[in-house]
Structure 1
Amino acid sequence: MTRRFSICALFVFFSIFFTIPGSISALEKNILTTELADPTPVKQAEPNFMVSGKANNGNNEVPGEWYIGETPPNLITNSPILLFVPGLNNVAQIFWEDNDMYQTAYNAGYQTTFVQLYDAGGASADMWENGQLLADKIKEISNHFGGRPITVVAYSKGGVDTQTALTYYGAWQYVDNVITLSSPHHGSQLADLAYSSSAGWLARLIGATGDGTFSMQMGYMADYRNQTDIQPKAYYNNYYTLGGTSWGSVFSSTWFGGIYLSQYGPNDGVVTTVSSQLPHGQVLAIDNWNHTSVRTGTTFPIFQNYLSDNDYFHSSFQEPIHSKVSPSFNQWVDGGPLTANKQAAISFVVEDGVQELNLNMMTSTERMKLKLVSPTGDEVAPKFQVNKVEEGVFKGAIQTKITLKVPQDGKWNLYVTAEQEDAYLFVATYDELQPKLVQSKKFTLNKSSLLYQIDGNPKAVREGSLQATYKITQSSDPTISQSVTTSGKNNSLSQSITFPNRDEVYNITIEIDGITKNGIPFKRTLIDSVYVE
């Protein structure tokens, strides 16, 4: 009897022992599969401010409103509150609508919060307006949770807004760490493109020239970095950065940006990997994310160990590598208005040695007819790939993409007939055997003038054939502009540019013409911006 009891007791013991792990797994599975309710708005109030953005981005949320996510049953003791900050023209909902970032943070045991910045109210704002608003909300959220520290997870321009809030508006004292997800810490060349003479027609039509885009110009952000990186509180908090190298599929909203930014190096369709880095920040990863996927739960495991204040990282200065990156000069850019029901011709040239030609056109509507004609006058019927841009500076535009393998050299024409008044931005990207232009340099002569030097490749360009036209436009007032044309000797172009006004951002569109060694004309475009103190 005793032996029988012992065997039964042993059986019960092992049964309980081996079912406990199963019970834990079930609990974890329940957490993982729980359908979360949307975060709850904490305060619904009419904004007591004027939004000064120049453009309407289509958003209608309440700036300054913030949300609390559900408290996870496996809440990590003494963990910081996670505050997710959206980017340019975004709303807080991007972290939980068609996105598993909120769910992933919940599963990991973190209390989440989300905030609406000025961009959520209909017009993009610069880092100064958003930074001040964000600083107020950080303090409010910290007080709501009894002074618990906050770790900010900031997406895109939200990273710049966050550093502004912490550095200039006193929010540093409430924050542990800052994670930035592909933030344009040095600006985005897409913002320069939006303010260029070629893109201006379309950018104004679709509302792409708001204050937020203005502040993301490379020239403006160079001045911001010069001001900010020397501030006492600029790096009081630890900054950890992530960047991406994927553009998504050809139908994705980041493809156009990826193609355009390719001449400036690896990028995620909106921000180059170089721009995603901070001089005193630590790079956690550069991986195969595009500008949309970098804000999803797939990146959470990468930065999870850096959410709490710890000894993982001590700030040290890294030389800004963006200054070392020279564009590849493999694009030509054009743009202008389209009259309803009137055919317009976009003429572009293809030189010898081009292995592949990518044509990208953006308009405000897809209701138009397109016809591509080769140099011999034959109509070409390529596959036109059309999609809507849902991310970045040109959000809302319709992109049409054409790819031609080993295109015939000579003059091509793309005929466009729009059904309504519209505008276009056209970018031709050349995959060439030998680059035509191999170097560009920008020297500061004094505070109001710059010297540009552009060198041709002597192996690919006929000596003495280079010519450049510089169109210099004041970004805040496009009516203030000037043009300068120069010809080069010995495959080198040099031009000094003097700017009429101080404390302004100037867009510089450089149109370059030349002839290859085989006597075929070619064209290239370089777009830049500078801040004049």
Structure 2
Amino acid sequence: MQLNMKKVVFIVFFFIFTFATVYNASASGIAPQKLKGESNENVISGKVGNGNEETPGEWYAGSTPSNPISEAPVILFVPGLNNVAQIFWEENDMYQTVLDAGYQTAFVQLYDAGGASATMWDNGELLAEKIREISTHFDRPVTVVAYSKGGVDTQTALAYYGAWQYVDNVITLSSPHHGSQLADLAYSSSAGWLADLLGAQGDGTYSMQLGYMENFRAEMDNQPLAYHNNYYTLGGTGWGSVFSSTWFGGMYLSQFGSNDGVVTSESSSLPDGQQLAVEDWNHTSIRTGESFSTFENYLMGNETVDSLITPTQSANLSSSNNNQWISGGPLESQKKATTTVAVENDVNEISLHLMTTGNLAEINLIDPNGKKIKPDVTTTKNEEGVFAGSFNQMIFINKPKAGNWKLELISDQQDAFLMVVDYKTKGKLILNNNVELSAKQQPRYNLQVNAEAVQEKTLQATYHITESGTDNTKTYRTKGNFNLAKELSVDKKSSVYNITIELKGLTKTGETFTRTIVDSVYVD
């Protein structure tokens, strides 16, 4: 029987396609297989969904390696804030890299995968249950490789919820063990409008505030089994490509020291853990196969780091390099919103970083002489992080004229904006230390201004202290002195308070300067 040419071509194409598919699947590994496992609890966290639609408590088993390492633990990958388990194998070679090295892998969905971020307490309890289940399934211990907030969730699962006995070692990849200043920013008075629209004020972000994490560290590090397991930490200093999500975060965090666009190098280390490396990873690349060779030798056994890494010290709020001003608020559809940016005469460059939930219809600049300028704007979208889903609009002005610049914004929809202005100039602030608590558990700042750069009598500082996640705000003012220290009053204990400080004054040459400080504190 003779086949016509179309059938011959079809059959040949079919076999070629099938062979190629099988070959590619074999060469690149088969996606992990979803296995049993589902949480019996229905925990709803956060204010707004994060867009995830996975089932918390489900977990996946990776393919059996063709060259298995004898007596090796299962490598369990734990995702971070607002992440799903798939981040380790979709558009990521981490899973394939570990599989090729001979390790059995597993991946777990935490509560963040179900639609809203969760605290380390909720995720830690769920993770402890899954660790026991996965270890029992494979009949051997696991070593956890935890990304970002997943590292905090992991230590909670082990030390607080008793999963330590099923785990060999723990590797954390840029985990905010001391919190992230971006979480503080999300709860600041300037960012509140935008963060609320984006759903950036969920339970997980709340728990990453510096104040909350300071209290968490005090509680966790005093647990008897806090460091029963070996903890090896990695941190990053890269910001990724220009105008990427991590690049924008890196610019904001630069005032606090080296960082990977989300977490500072200092925050990525644990008090009694062993820091393996602080390298040129950004917060995205550190979770890829790029970092595997750095931690591979610490996946099993009780290894000791030959020479501990001392990460670049974060400047925190003791730095005189705080040269940023923050503004934000609502945008009404088709109505012009105007904000004023003060520029002093010794500024070499200013960068205006705008974040909104959608693209702006129009952005105009008006210089101090009243001339309207159509600025060159670079727009990108934040794909992940605390402000995931927002649009970045970036404007640079080289050698700006001193005086008041006006920025006009028009949106086609109901929106909100957050603007961070970064000044390239000499520092005008001196902060002796972070927020302190008085004997009466009231927060106090020791804020001073550089006497050589500003006029003392013109200085004024406005303190906004807000119970995070609420509208309960108190405002305090102090002025006319180089020392602008202020003791603040809080009513509710066992709570996190966001502190936003607006500083304003005149330079020695008479130009207005403005700066913003954002921090948080936990009041017992």
| Corresponding residue of 1:169 | 161
1:366 to 349, 353, 359: 359
Give the corresponding residue for 1:229: 221
Q: Which residue of 2 aligns with 1:303?
A: 295
1-structure distance, mates of 2:242, 2:189: 26
Instruction: Check the 8 A contact 2:443/2:489 in 1, yes or no.
Output: yes
* Partner Cα separation in structure 2 for residue 151 and residue 31 of structure 1: 29
Q: CA deviation at 1:355?
A: 1.2
**3-state SS in 1 of match to 2:397:** strand
Question: Paired residue for 2:285, among 293, 315, 318?
Answer: 293
Per the alignment, in what secondary structure is the counterpart of residue 274 of structure 1? coil
Q: Please state whether the residue corresponding to 2:500 is helix, strand or coil.
A: strand
Moved more, 37-46 or 496-505: 37-46
- Amino acid across the alignment from 1:259: M
2:248 is matched with 256
**Distance (whole Å) between structure 2 residues aligned to residue 52 and residue 332 of structure 1:** 32
Q: Does residue 1:332 correspond to 2:322, yes or no?
A: no
Structure-2 change in CA distance of 1:44 and 1:163 (3 Å): closer
Go from structure 1 to structure 2 and tell me whether the alpha carbon gap of 1:314 and 1:449 turns closer, same or farther (over 3 Å shift): farther
State the distance in 1 between where 2:341 and 2:298 align: 50
- C-alpha change, 1:353 and 1:99, in structure 2 (3 Å) is same
State the partner residue of 1:20: none
The number of equivalent residue pairs is: 500
Where 2:486 maps in the other structure, the secondary structure is: strand
* 1:408-466 deviations in Å (ceiling 9; x for gaps): 1111111111001000001001110x211122433321253122111111221123332
Corresponding residue for residue 466 of structure 2: 473
Matches within 5 A, 1:350-389: 350-389=343-382
Q: What residue is the counterpart of 1:511 in the other structure? A: 502
CA distance in 2 between counterparts of 1:320 and 1:415 reads 39
Cα distance in structure 2, aligned partners of 1:188 and 1:488: 33
Q: 8 Å contact 1:363–1:398 — kept in the other structure?
A: yes
* 1:91-111 alpha-carbon deviations (Å, 9 max, x no partner): 000000111100110111111
Residue 46 of structure 1 and its aligned partner are, at CA, apart by 7.4
Aligned to 1:3: none
Instruction: Give 1:354 shift.
Output: 0.9
Structure 2 letter corresponding to 1:36 = G
2:287 maps to a residue whose letter is R
Equivalent position of 1:499 in the other structure: 490
> Residue 245 of structure 1 corresponds to which residue in structure 2?
237
| Aligned equivalents of 2:447, 2:77: Cα separation in 1 | 43
The equivalences for 1:110-125 within 5 A come to 110-125=103-118
- SS across alignment from 1:212: helix
User: Can you give the 5+ residue segments of structure 2 that lack an aligned partner in the other structure?
Assistant: 1-22
Q: Distance in 1 between matches of 2:447 and 2:119?
A: 32
For residue 311 of structure 1, report the CA deviation from its aligned partner. 3.5
Partner of 1:401: 394
TM-score of the superposed pair, with normalisation by structure 2:
0.92
Identify which range, 285-294 or 132-141, moves more after superposition: 285-294
Q: Report what 2:59 is aligned to.
A: 66
Aligned residue identity for 2:355: M
Show the counterpart of 1:421: 414
Among the aligned pairs, what percent are the same residue? 56
Query: Which deviations, in whole Å up to 9, do the C-alpha atoms of 1:384-410 show, x marking residues without a partner?
Result: 111110121101111111111111111
State which of 165, 178, 181 in structure 2 corresponds to 1:189: 181
1:461 alignment partner AA:
V
Distance 1:85 1:158 in 2: 6
Shift of 1:248: 1.2
Offset of residue 223 of structure 1: 0.2
What is the distance in 1 between the residues matched to 2:480 and 2:282? 39
Name the counterpart of 2:74. 81
Partner of 2:520: 529
8 Å CA contact 1:47, 1:62 repeated in 2: no
The answer to whether the Cα contact below 8 Å between 2:61 and 2:105 also exists between their aligned partners in 1 is: yes
Q: What does 1:67-216 correspond to in 2, within 5 Å?
A: 67-146=60-139, 148-216=140-208
Q: Tell me which residue corresponds to 1:272.
A: 264
When normalised by structure 1's length, the TM-score is 0.90
Q: What is the aligned partner in structure 1 of residue 17 from structure 2?
A: none
Letter in 2 for 1:436: K
Query: For the Cα contact (< 8 Å) 2:276–2:305, is it kept in 1?
Result: no
8 A Cα contact 1:362 1:399, kept in partner: yes
SS at match of 1:312: coil
Which SS does the other structure have where 1:476 is aligned? coil
Among 372, 383, 387, the alignment partner of 1:390 is 383
Are 2:235 and 2:281, in contact at CA under 8 Å, matched by a contact in 1? Answer: yes
Larger Rg: 1
Contact kept, 8 Å, 1:235 with 1:315, in 2: the verdict is: no
Asked if the contact 1:513/1:522 (under 8 Å) is kept, the reply is: yes
Per-residue deviation, 1:256: 1.8
CA–CA separation in structure 1 for the residues paired with 2:215 and 2:83: 25
* 1:165-216 CA distance string (max 9 Å, x none): 0010001001111110000000011111111111000000011010000000
Q: Give distance in 1, aligned partners of 2:166 and 2:307.
A: 19
Deviation at 1:509, TM superposition (A): 0.4
Q: Which moved more, 1:413-422 or 1:247-256?
A: 247-256
Superposition deviation, residue 312 in structure 1: 1.7
**2:370 aligns to what SS in structure 1?**
coil
Partners of 1:67 and 1:114 within 8 A in 2: yes
Q: Secondary structure at the match of 1:354?
A: coil
In 2, Cα distance between the equivalents of 1:228 and 1:31? 46
Once the two structures are superposed, residues 51-73 of structure 1 have per-residue CA deviations (whole angstroms, 9 ceiling, x without a partner) of: 23222100000000000111111
Letter matched to residue 186 of structure 1: H
Quote the Cα distance in structure 2 between the aligned partners of 1:326 and 1:499: 23
Structure 1 contact 450–498 (Cα < 8 Å) conserved: yes
Q: Do the aligned residues in 1 keep the contact of 2:256 with 2:316 (CA within 8 Å)? A: no
**1:456/1:212 Cα in 2 relative to 1: closer, same or farther (>3 Å)?**
same
Structure 1 residue 353: deviation in Å?
Answer: 1.0
Answer yes or no: is the 8 Å Cα contact 1:279–1:319 preserved in 2. no
Aligned residue identity for 2:200: A
Change (3 A) 1:213 1:301: same
> Which segment drifts farther, 48-57 or 189-198?
48-57
